[in-house]
Amino acid sequence: MDFSSSTYSVTRKTSHTSLPFESVMSNLYTSIGRPSDMKWLAMGANIKSFDEASRETFIKEVEAAVGPEGFMIFLELNHGSWLPLFNVNSNPQLGLKRIILGNPLIAVTMLSQSTKSLDAGLFVPVEIMVRELPDGEGTEIIWQVPSTMIAAVDEGNSELLAAAEVLDRKLEELIIAISSRA
């Protein structure tokens, strides 16, 4: 078996808000839905054929599922629920959640660019980490800028980069929205 490797630079951003963790999470759920909604799993399971009618149905289902900033939740990993078992945090009550979110209609704008751009599927849907700060200091939202990862899969593909930069902007708009609503 042969392995190949590539090295590229990724930009990581952190946004700080004075809002409490619970408020940020409530804002996020209002924007992308709750993990219990499981909309994505139902949409994928409902695909029975790949004809135009199925495509139109899928598009309508996605459009109905995404929130005001254009994303839906795929998965939530609650690290705060198990880390106290290992005394990782000085305060076991602090929230720490990794959220996988996206929009298949945005993803397809990147994945459809070329055969090589299918590798961008490693980076969509995107993820954010929502971290409660100690002593009521607010909340941090941490993410990696999607275009810095996606553009690396097909360097020089300006259409792929442009599509990924649209995702960057939409993700940042979501983060601004969830960290500024009281």
42-89 residue pLDDT tens: 888 888 899 999 999 999 999 999 999 999 999 999 999 888 888 887
| b (16+ CB within 10 A) / e for 57-94 | ebeebbeebbbebbbbbbebeeebeeeeeeeeeeeeeb
**Would you place residue 90 in the very low, low, confident or very high pLDDT band (cuts 50, 70, 90)?**
low
Domains of the chain, by residue range, sit at 12-180
102 or 46, which is more confident? 102
Contact 59, 105 (CB under 8 A): yes
Distances (CA, A) of 76 to 7, 56, 99, 113, 173: 28, 28, 5, 29, 20
84 or 111, which is more confident? 111
Which of the listed CATH numbers 1.20.1250.20, 1.10.10.10, 3.40.50.2300, 3.30.310.70 matches domain 12-180? 3.30.310.70
* 10-23 pLDDT tens trace: 999 999 999 999 99
**Would you place residue 34 in the very low, low, confident or very high pLDDT band (cuts 50, 70, 90)?**
confident
pLDDT at 93 over 80: no
Q: Residue 99's CB: how many other CB atoms inside 10 A?
A: 24
Tokens of 90: 């000085």
Query: Which of 7-11, 13-17, 91-95, 96-100 has the lowest average pLDDT?
Result: 91-95
* 136-170 pLDDT tens trace: 899 999 999 999 999 888 888 999 999 999 999 99
Alpha helices in 10-103 (DSSP H): 21-32, 39-45, 52-65
Predicted local confidence at residue 113, as pLDDT: 86
> Is the dihedral angle over the CA atoms 134, 135, 136, 137 positive or is it negative?
negative
